[in-house]
A and B are shown apart, each in its own frame.
Chain A
Amino acid sequence: VACRLARDPVTEALLRGDGAAWETFVRRYARLIVAAVRGFVQSPGEVEDLTQDVFVRLCKDDFRLLRSFDPSRAALSTWLTIVARSTVRDALRRRRAEAVPIDMVPESRLAIDPVEPVPKLKLPEALLSPRQREILAMLYDQEMDVAEVAAALGIDPQTVRSAHHKAIVKLRAHFKAETG
């Protein structure tokens, strides 16, 4: 289990600053990233450029993104595929935006800050499962008791209590981290 949870040696060496490890990393994962990019574009030139964009993103800020990878949660190949697809989609979106003639852009849009907006979510959506949100809403917005919630959802009262407890722990941890 310990082996599975640890980063592979190449990634470890890379994050320690071993320059030679980058080439090994690139050789190992280039095909995977190319395949992910080819899900969007087919022209060899475009595939090359967008694959380079993915590697740039991985390298950026001293491998900040790569450092965020947690091997206990997913396989590196899965994570790289998700990152590659997201990078390509962002790049294509930017290209489409650049390709629009300036006369076609409403003046109000030109005043917008060029920094890409970060999508925002209400905290319960970002943190809690739909079931947890539903249970908290029933308990606190509709002021139902546990037995009523259990009956309404057709589940065991103990399941309601457990989901409630987990949700409250998550919310507390979020606000504690925010203030602490």
Chain B
Amino acid sequence: MSGRDRKSEESRANRALWLRSQATVVPEDETGRFLDLAAFADGRLDGEEAERIAALLARDPEAASDVMAVASTTGDRAPSVADADNVGIERVIVRACGLATQASERRRVLLFSRPAARSSAMRGLAEWTSLAAALAMVGWFGFAMGSDASLAFGQTAQQNQPSIVHELIEPDNGILHDLGMEVQT
């Protein structure tokens, strides 16, 4: 690409940027505006920026009056103690100080103390102890369940069904009953 082509492409891109900016509407940035006006009032803006703010002041008389007022409140005619006392400066201060108290109460966070480093060993011991206790509990519980079950089966068998041994040796109804008869005969 030749230098002429590059220049022409750059010019097209810049034109597109300019057209796009004209079609863009932005909300006025309040914090930026305060800083711009204060910087202008303090004479800290360079030529281009000062021109931009001067144009803003020309179409916004309220902003212009704010800039003018800065000289009367911060310059030689700064507020005297007597002026402020007329409006009860102490009352103003007490009320304003109350704001920070309210704010700090609203955002108070309960802090828990951080566990000490040595507690990690204690925690490990506690973990192993609890694991061992859990295993012992499970073993005991399983054993208790098993023995209860065997007892229950044993009792059921005794109550409801004659045992095989009993059947074998019972002379009245055991399998040896007939054999006994034959032997007898």
Residues of A within 8 A of B (CB): 19, 22-23, 26-27, 30-32, 34-36, 38-39, 44, 47-48, 51-52, 55-56, 59, 62, 65, 68-70, 73-75, 77-79, 81-83, 85-86, 89, 118-124, 126-132, 136, 140, 163-164, 166, 168, 171-172, 174-175
By a CB distance below 8 angstroms, the chain A residues around B51 are 129-131
The yes or no answer to B149 lying at the interface (CB within 8 A) is no
Chain A binder among B25-33, B128-136, B156-164, B175-183: B25-33
Contact: A36 with B69, CB < 8 Å?
yes
User: Measured between alpha carbons, how far is A33 from B65 in the docked complex, in Å?
Assistant: 16
User: Measured between alpha carbons, how far is A171 from B22 in the docked complex, in Å?
Assistant: 11
Residues of B within 8 A of A (CB): 14-15, 17-22, 24-31, 34-35, 37-39, 41-42, 44, 48-49, 51-52, 55, 62, 65-67, 69-70, 72-74, 78-79, 81, 83-84, 86-89, 91-93, 95-97, 99-101, 103-104, 107
Contact: B66 with A82, CB < 8 Å?
yes
Of the listed residues B62, B91, B92, the one surrounded by the most CB atoms of chain A closer than 10 A to its CB is: B92
Contact: B62 with A89, CB < 8 Å?
yes
By a CB distance below 8 angstroms, the chain B residues around A128 are 52
By a CB distance below 8 angstroms, the chain A residues around B83 are 31, 34-35, 38
Contact: B37 with A77, CB < 8 Å?
no
Picked from B39, B62, B67, B79, the residue with its CB within 8 Å of the CB of A32 is: B79
Main DSSP-derived SS at the B contact region? helix
User: Measured between alpha carbons, how far is A27 from B95 in the docked complex, in Å?
Assistant: 11
Instruction: From known contacts A79-B35, A86-B66, A163-B48, infer whether A51 and B17 are also in contact, taking CB-CB under 8 Å.
Output: no
By a CB distance below 8 angstroms, the chain A residues around B96 are 26, 30, 51-52, 55
Picked from B17, B27, B41, B103, the residue with its CB within 8 Å of the CB of A78 is: B41
